[in-house]
Amino acid sequence: MKVAVIVFPGSNCDADCLHVVNRVFGVEAKAVWHKESSLEGFDFVILPGGFSYGDYLRCGAIAKFSPIMKEVVRFASQGKPVLGICNGFQVLVESGLLPGVLMRNKGLRFICDTVNLRLASNRCLFTQKAYVGSVFSMPIAHMEGNYFIDDNGLQSLQDNEQIVFQYANATGQVTPEANPNGSLLNIAGICNQQGNVLGMMPHPERVCEELLGGLAGKFLFESILS
């Protein structure tokens, strides 16, 4: 297996993703600059966190025009796995690979914290190694993580089990108090209808080693890399 980590101007979590795939899992991963136009030979694509193009205009709105994104869309259409983390989630939404929008956090403040996530669906490629209802502790660091979609879109997400992660308390209860950013239904991550594209605001790559605070994110990578 070979993994592509897409690098935009302003990406700052690309090195983290490369480290996890290369060093923790021992799988070949390569940084792919956003001006490239081919993903030939790659089996899995990661869009990392950061501030693509400085988050000017709107998070992910400029990155969607990068040459590599046409290839990412084509790659995803073939059923191959694509993971967007934080800013990567925003890019996936802006590029139309995932529905909805990500708005400014309620309170209009950047949030850097650790949250609890309840696994709401394990039908996507990234969550098949975990049970629905499982609770995972992961870090977040974002300004625009407030997920919103209209009523018809929300109904579609629910009908197709596309809501993958929800902010919850330590016992897995999805409560208003556990919602850090005002996200609709406490949504922290969603997948496409096919289940091969996952976008999430929390950072699983930051919890793949005990030394760095835990192993809660390993199952996401294991589901694909194994």
Choosing from 13, 17, 59, 86, the catalytic residue is 86
Choosing from 34, 142, 203, 208, the catalytic residue is 203
203 assigned to active site = yes
Longest dimension (CA), the chain: 45
Choosing from 71, 94, 144, 205, the catalytic residue is 205
CB atoms within 10 A of CB 23: 12
Work out whether the CA dihedral 195, 69, 203, 112 comes out positive or negative: negative
For residue 158, give both structure tokens. 């629910």
CA distance 4 to 48: 10
94 assigned to active site = no
86 assigned to active site = yes
User: What are the catalytic residues?
Assistant: 86, 203, 205
